[in-house]
Amino acid sequence: MLLDTPICDFGWEAKEFTLNEPSGQSYKMVEQIGPKGLLIMFICNHCPYVKRISKEISEVSKNLISSGVNVLAIMSNDYRDYPEDSPEKMLEFKKTHDFQFPYLLDADQLVGKAYGAVCTPDFFGFNSKGQLQYRGRIEELESAMNQVALSGVGPREQIPSQGCSIKWSR
């Protein structure tokens, strides 16, 4: 089911969380905010939209990381109903697409719900103070986050991201 993300709620404060990669490495959100900001993206392995842009996600993320914007990806789908999104498959997906950022498992789906994540992909771009400045599409992501890195403020005109609905557990 194709969904659009809501319009950016400028200044919304990033919610703290601690999640693990399937390998066991733990990450606290507050410790991941880079000197120029933080991109948190909700993605999954099986979504055709994510598959189509996975190379771009990898390239844009490398550029952002080198400019001081850290990156985290979160998988909030119910992988028990969607085995292609299992922790083991997440490790394979990360390696296949050369993700140079943590790909975290939100097994209880609390982080996805706290952020109001709607679909995969769903991009949340925060400034260095942890304030939301971008929630849009991959096509504008790099330039928007570069603007956030330079000024702390995202572009006022943003086009919502589109993707598959997050698969919430029943």
Q: Which domains does the chain have, with CATH numbers?
A: 2-165 (3.40.30.10)
Two structure tokens written together for 47: 């979504």
> CA 163, 165, 166 angle in degrees (round to 5)?
120
Mean pLDDT of the chain: 96
Long-range contacts from 142-150, C-beta under 8 angstroms, 24+ separation: 142/60, 142/63, 142/64, 145/37, 145/39, 145/64, 145/69, 146/64, 146/67, 148/36, 148/37, 148/69, 149/36, 149/37, 149/64, 149/67, 149/68, 149/69, 150/36
Burial class of residue 85 (count of CB atoms within 10 Å of its CB; 0-12, 13-18, 19+) = buried
| pLDDT digits 0-9 by tens, 98-154 | 999 999 999 999 999 999 999 999 999 999 999 999 999 999 999 999 999 999 999
| pLDDT digits 0-9 by tens, 113-129 | 999 999 999 999 999 99
- 5 has pLDDT over 80: no
| pLDDT digits 0-9 by tens, 42-76 | 999 999 999 999 999 999 999 999 999 999 999 99
